[in-house]
Structure 1
Amino acid sequence: MARRCAITGKGALVGNNVSHANNRTKRRFLPNLRTIRVTLEDGTTRRIKVAASTLRTMKKQSK
């Protein structure tokens, strides 16, 4: 399964590791994914991967 948020679609970004000597090598910035259980309308539950920032926004909007 891809490292992607099921709600917002956030995925991995690409950047550089920069050493003290300013050497640059490629690296990936992965999203902070959490697995949560979601109850659907028909009563079944599913596990989805959601970014932690998305969870935070969802909690903020539910207040």
Structure 2
Amino acid sequence: MARKCDICGKGVVTGMKVSHSHIRTKRTWAPNLQRVKAIVNGSPKRIMVCTRCLRSGKVQRAV
């Protein structure tokens, strides 16, 4: 499963976790993805969509 939104392309971002003593270790931030049934090219299909795309109405959900 790719951790990327099929609508906007938002994916995992990497960076550094910094402790109080400033010890730096690598970490990742993953987008909040939901597996939804949506209308794609006129037919229903299961896609991975971030919650921002769902909330903004960029996805027409299938029933």
TM-score relative to the length of structure 2: 0.80
RMSD: 1.4
Which structure 1 residue ranges, 4+ long, deviate > 4 Å from structure 2? none
Q: How many residues align?
A: 57
Unaligned runs of 5+ in 1: none
Match in the other structure for 1:49: 48
TM-score relative to the length of structure 1: 0.80
Q: 1 or 2, which has the higher helix percentage? A: 1
Unaligned runs of 5+ in 2: 59-63
Deviation at 1:45, TM superposition (A): 2.0
> Percent identity among equivalent residues?
44
